[in-house]
Amino acid sequence: MKNLKKIGFVVFMLGIVLFIGNIFMGEYKFDGDKIRSHFDSTPDVFDKGDSIASGFIDAVQQYEATNSAPTTNIVTFNAALPQIIDRHNHNVSDALAATEGLSSDDVQSVVSGANQESGIVYSEEVIRGALGDNENKVKMLVDNTSWMYTDQRDFADVAEFESTLQSKVDELNGSVGTQYHISKEKWSLLDINKAMVESGAKTSTWLWFFLTFGLIIIGSVIYNGTNYKILGEAGIKNDGIYHESATNRGWVAWIVLLFLVGFYVALYFFPQYIANAVLLVDPVSEGLSGNPASQWFLYGFIYCVAMSVMAIRMYIKYRHNRYQIFRTTVVLFFQIAFAFIIPELLVRFNMPYYDFKNAWPLDYDFFFTYNIESLIDNGTLGIFMLVWGIILTLIIVPIMVYFFGKRWYCSWVCGCGGLAETLGDPYRQLSNKKMWAWKLERYLIYSVLVFAVIMTGLVLYTFFTGSGSLFGIDTYYISVVYGFLIGSIFSGVIGTGFYPIFGNRTWCRFGCPLAAYMGIVQRFKSRFRITTNGGQCISCGNCSTYCEQGIDVRAYAQKGQNIVRSSCVGCGVCSAVCPRGVLKLENGPEENRFGNEGPIVLGNDGFELNK
């Protein structure tokens, strides 16, 4: 069995190495035809296709004329790509300016039309007089140069008029054909990378899918599965956790951290560099939504795979504990069905992409203008989604927290929680239990909640009033800042990337605004508590150590008090690891929810204080 486990590990590592290797493989070629087909979906482009394609080829040649660097690998390709896009956009505008822009003849005839005896006269009439036969050209000047009309201003002489006009025309010509410009946004860079790379991931996608995801899945299923025999009888098996480098912040932990952080940074900020990885899941994506994959699809796919294989580990580790088995199954279901498959299918049937279980303010862009608009534009279903999202946050969430505690969401439904409870489970002991960490937690999480509320308020203000700023705050800017700091850095890079060092619930404990909101309900108005079993606690500390939320459970248990804490996500692991049967997660009448309020623990009949 131990050998089989080693084989599993080797297969898994091979998969990981090939996955990383795959990213850097393949030959990258700048290809004008591919750029042309890039625009093929816009019908009127066909007659312009040639100039677009040649604009691109020219851009590449111009680039290569000044830069000797070969453009065949991922690094040099992406170093050159933005510059080539700039040139391409310039070339396309130039090429189209001849037919669609204003030529120097046009400028000359306007100038001569304006140069009248009484001096310079510039007006719509003059423009029509000079370019009357071409309505497009007239419109360009009327729309863009009315500020030059001489009923509003004077020109000293023809030279001044001509140079003013010429520079404006240059500008206009430069923006001719912007619809054929290539965007330098991340998604576009990723698309171009995907289109232009020649790699195994592209030509033999399924083979490479097997060599990467296939091996990773097979390897980790073997690795986790063998635990069934290796761990021996069912029961808590935390042996060696603090002896192992991977789970005790040793060098293995740091390598895993590097890998995770690297992945998140690429995903959020440099998706163009993982084009080959995205290509691997194109067939899956096409099968689901009918569209090629984006980096977000890749992320969702990896998320589901990671949760599934690590759920196997949970099933084996906690096979004596049905709370853990049920919880793991349900949270896995919600991730795969609600967060991954259903939204993709919605897209397939031309409905808005929507994760029905993702509640604002965790789902921080729910009230962003583009989202509201796309929902409203989608008719009944879209409106339903909008209303559902509001009901979810305002009614369902607090009511469920009242009855069951915030665990119903955090460890039974939520995707962030789901990953933390599966992929993150080996790291749960790393959460900080110190008093200062609890203080920091309260400052941070409520600040994020306030930030989320204010940000959403501003965005909604803009939605309803159309005004882009309130009290001098640019609402768009603030939503971008939130997305960057909270949405990407905190929840992703730190929240998950730092699992091996900070533990598995950093985001849920310190950052999640939805958790903050539910925590307030849980603390003050809920039937949930963890009951302490009288005087049975021996202060061993297993509960506190394995609490992923850094709650010092023992501090309550050894005093006979129940645990009623806003941050408790009800994972149930404190109860599972307690060797003396002291802790039970329970829902019940709120009366006496805090348990023993006095200083004397059950078992001492000597005296009762506070009575």
Partner 1 sequence: MSKIVIIGNGISGVTAARHIRKNSDNEIVIISAESEHFFSRTALMYVFMGHMRFQDIKPYEDYFWEKNRIDLVFDYVNHIDTDSKILEMKGGSKITYDKLVLAVGSKPNKFGWPGQDLPGVQGLYTYQDLETIEENAKTAKHAVIVGGGLIGIELAEMMHSRGIETTFLVRESKFWRSVLPEEDGDLITRHIIDHKVDLRLNTELTEIIAGDDGRVKAVKTSEGDIVECQIVGLTAGVSPNVEFVKASKIEVDRGIKVNEFCETNIQDVYAIGDCAQFNESINGRRTIEQVWYTGRIMGETVAQTICGNKMPYNPGPWFNSAKFFDIEYQTYGLVLANREENENSFFWEHPKGKISVHVVWDKASGEFIGINTFGIRMRHDIFDKWLKEKVSVDVVMSELRSANFDPEFYRTYEKEIVDQFNSKTGRNVELKAKQWWRNLLAK
**Could you tell me how many residues make up the chain?**
611
Beta strands in 493-556 (DSSP E): 528-532
Distances from the Cα of 322 to the Cα of 315, 569, 581, angstroms: 9, 17, 15
Note whether 579 binds partner 1 by CB under 8 A.
yes
Instruction: Tell me how far, at minimum, the Cβ of 257 lies from ligand SF4, in Å.
Output: 23
Three-state SS at 489: helix
Note whether 236 binds partner 1 by CB under 8 A.
yes
Quick one: CA dihedral 481, 482, 483, 488, positive or negative? positive
Q: Which of 97, 137, 162 is nearest to 124 (CA)?
A: 137
**Which of partner 1, ligand SF4, none does residue 533 bind to, with CB < 5 to 8 Å depending on kind?**
partner 1
Instruction: Tell me how far, at minimum, the Cβ of 236 lies from ligand SF4, in Å.
Output: 10
Q: Which token pair is 21?
A: 């290797």
Note whether 575 binds partner 1 by CB under 8 A.
yes
Instruction: CB nearer to ligand SF4: give 401 or 553.
Output: 553
Note whether 600 binds partner 1 by CB under 8 A.
yes
Instruction: Tell me how far, at minimum, the Cβ of 552 lies from ligand SF4, in Å.
Output: 9
**Which of ligand SF4, partner 1, none does residue 547 bind to, with CB < 5 to 8 Å depending on kind?**
ligand SF4
Note whether 606 binds partner 1 by CB under 8 A.
yes
Instruction: Tell me how far, at minimum, the Cβ of 219 lies from partner 1, in Å.
Output: 25
Q: Which residues of 75-108 are buried (b: 16+ CB within 10 A; e: fewer)?
A: eebbebbeebbebbbbbbbbbbbeebbbeeebbe
Instruction: Tell me how far, at minimum, the Cβ of 554 lies from ligand SF4, in Å.
Output: 4
Q: Interface with partner 1 by CB under 8 A: which range of 196-204, 234-242, 341-349, 356-364?
A: 234-242
**Which of ligand SF4, partner 1, none does residue 603 bind to, with CB < 5 to 8 Å depending on kind?**
partner 1
Report helix angle 49-66 to 74-100, nearest 10.
Answer: 130
**Which of ligand SF4, partner 1, none does residue 323 bind to, with CB < 5 to 8 Å depending on kind?**
partner 1
With CB under 8 A as the contact rule, the residue among 61, 238, 245, 465 that binds partner 1 is 238
CB-CB neighbours of 203 under 10 Å: 11
Instruction: CB nearer to ligand SF4: give 527 or 580.
Output: 580
**Span 284-323, contacts to partner 1 by CB under 8 A:** 320-323
Q: Which token pair is 506?
A: 């950093």
At 229, the amino acid letter reads K
Instruction: Tell me how far, at minimum, the Cβ of 256 lies from partner 1, in Å.
Output: 19
Query: Does the bond joining 361 to the residue before it have cis omega, within 30 degrees of 0?
Result: yes
Instruction: Tell me how far, at minimum, the Cβ of 595 lies from ligand SF4, in Å.
Output: 13
Note whether 588 binds partner 1 by CB under 8 A.
yes
Note whether 243 binds partner 1 by CB under 8 A.
yes
Cβ-contact 415, 484 below 8 angstroms: no
Cβ-contact 480, 489 below 8 angstroms: no
Note whether 610 binds partner 1 by CB under 8 A.
no
Note whether 434 binds partner 1 by CB under 8 A.
yes
Note whether 533 binds partner 1 by CB under 8 A.
yes
Instruction: Tell me how far, at minimum, the Cβ of 519 lies from ligand SF4, in Å.
Output: 11
Residue 514 makes CB contacts below 8 A (sequence gap 6+) with: 359, 360, 361, 362, 397, 409
Which residue, chain included where needed, has tokens 């204010």? 454
Instruction: CB nearer to partner 1: give 429 or 526.
Output: 429
**Which of ligand SF4, partner 1, none does residue 535 bind to, with CB < 5 to 8 Å depending on kind?**
partner 1
Note whether 233 binds partner 1 by CB under 8 A.
yes
Q: Which token pair is 162?
A: 């001509």
Instruction: CB nearer to ligand SF4: give 169 or 568.
Output: 568
Tell me which H or E stretch contains 427.
none
Three-state SS at 421: helix
Three-state SS at 5: helix
CA angle 522, 524, 526 (to 5 degrees): 50
Instruction: CB nearer to ligand SF4: give 247 or 549.
Output: 549
- What's the rounded Cα separation, in Å, for the pair 404 and 526? 7
With CB under 8 A as the contact rule, the residue among 454, 477, 539, 597 that binds partner 1 is 539
Applying CB under 6 A, the residues found at the interface with ligand SF4 are 530, 537-543, 547-549, 551, 553-554, 557-558, 563, 568-574, 578, 580, 582-583
Query: Measured in Å, how far apart are the chain's first and last C-alpha atoms?
Result: 59
Beta strands in 185-270 (DSSP E): 197-198
Instruction: Tell me how far, at minimum, the Cβ of 187 lies from ligand SF4, in Å.
Output: 38
**Which of ligand SF4, partner 1, none does residue 260 bind to, with CB < 5 to 8 Å depending on kind?**
none
Instruction: CB nearer to partner 1: give 199 or 549.
Output: 549
Instruction: CB nearer to ligand SF4: give 84 or 571.
Output: 571
Note whether 33 binds partner 1 by CB under 8 A.
no
Q: State the DSSP string of 100-144.
A: HS--HHHHHHHHHHHEETTEE--SHHHHHHHHTT-HHHHHHHHHH
- The alpha-carbon radius of gyration of the chain (Å, integer) is 31
Instruction: Tell me how far, at minimum, the Cβ of 313 lies from ligand SF4, in Å.
Output: 18
With CB under 8 A as the contact rule, the residue among 193, 542, 549, 562 that binds partner 1 is 542
**Which of partner 1, ligand SF4, none does residue 553 bind to, with CB < 5 to 8 Å depending on kind?**
ligand SF4
How many chain residues touch partner 1 (CB under 8 A)? Answer: 60
Q: DSSP secondary-structure letter at 563?
A: B
**Which of partner 1, ligand SF4, none does residue 574 bind to, with CB < 5 to 8 Å depending on kind?**
ligand SF4
Instruction: Tell me how far, at minimum, the Cβ of 516 lies from ligand SF4, in Å.
Output: 15
Note whether 602 binds partner 1 by CB under 8 A.
yes
Q: Interface with partner 1 by CB under 8 A: which range of 8-16, 31-39, 534-542, 561-569?
A: 534-542
- What's the rounded Cα separation, in Å, for the pair 326 and 316? 13
Report the relative pairing of strands 115-116 and 119-120 from DSSP bridges: antiparallel
Measured torsion, CA atoms of residues 499, 341, 299, 193, in degrees rounded to the nearest 10: 180
Instruction: Tell me how far, at minimum, the Cβ of 439 lies from ligand SF4, in Å.
Output: 18
Tell me which H or E stretch contains 27.
strand 27-28
Q: State the DSSP string of 385-420.
A: HHHHHHHIIIIIHHHHHHHH-THHHHTTT-HHHHHH
With CB under 8 A as the contact rule, the residue among 75, 79, 98, 435 that binds partner 1 is 435
Write out the residues near partner 1 by the rule CB under 8 A: 232-236, 238-244, 320-323, 325-326, 429, 433-435, 531, 533-536, 538-542, 544-545, 554-555, 558, 572, 575-577, 579-581, 584-586, 588-589, 591-592, 599-607
